[in-house]
Copies of this chain bind each other. A is one copy, B any other.
Amino acid sequence: MNLELTQTEENYLKAIFGLSVSKSKAVSTNSIAEKLQTKASSVTDMVRRLSEKKMVDYKKYQGVSLTVAGKKTAVKVIRKHRLWEVFLVRHLDFSWDEVHEIAEQLEHVKSIKLTKELDRFLEFPTHDPHGDPIPDENGNIAYHTDMMLSSLEAHEKGVVLGVKDSSKSFLIYLDCSGIKLGSTISVMSKEVFDNSMKIEIEGEIMSVSQQIAKNLFMKKLKNERLISR
């Protein structure tokens, strides 16, 4: 058995990692299949291989969870992915909704020195262009425990730190609406019946659905209205 991991295997580990963040329990075959756009039977096969390589714990019909080695590998790949995203946006003029698929390829390039030097070149960034934290060399992740836009109340304001859903369509929506990382948003009012919000951003007033508001990480700002009173 070859101990080196293929790109596919790394992608499986990443997917399992992503799924096990929210649920602390074992991850189901079907959920992995859905996330990777493949079939459950393929997942079963792969999970068995990863189990032989001691990357996941797996008991038939009981789902999978990452071993320490598996988690370590997944985090390394995520680190590379996010570092490349920073590079693409900062130096190659990509916008944040374009970088994902390219980073998906770059994340599998194998060279410890490469990752290290890239990190240094980028001056040790802590977050990628979507606001997601970049794991450090030892695999530690500084999750930001900030609130979502949806949990801000009327007359409060905050700064956009990142997105939870980083699907292309969502990112494009944000671009079109002029919502960027670092944008300051003031909540004007909240509709009771659908939880949509009227917000003000750089002078513009617009409405966002709860769906949108639930996917924007915000840093709440001291409310100036209170101060000026």
Interface residues of chain A, those whose CB is within 8 Å of chain B, are 88, 91-94, 98, 101-102, 105-106, 108-111, 113-114, 117-118, 120-121
Contact = CB atoms under 8 A, between A and B. Distances in A.
B91 A114 contact: no
A93 to B, nearest CB: 6
Nearest to A108: B105
Given A102-B114, A114-B102, A92 B121 contact: yes
Residue with the greatest number of chain B CB neighbours at <10 A, chosen from A91, A93, A111: A111
A118 to B, nearest CB: 6
A-B pairs with lowest CB-CB distance, top 8? A92-B117, A105-B109, A102-B111, A91-B121, A102-B114, A93-B117, A92-B121, A106-B109
Nearest to A116: B92
Given A98-B113, A105-B110, A106-B109, 18 more contacts: A88-B114, A91-B121, A92-B114, A92-B117, A92-B118, A92-B120, A92-B121, A93-B117, A94-B113, A94-B117, A101-B111, A102-B109, A102-B111, A102-B114, A105-B108, A105-B109, A105-B111, A106-B106
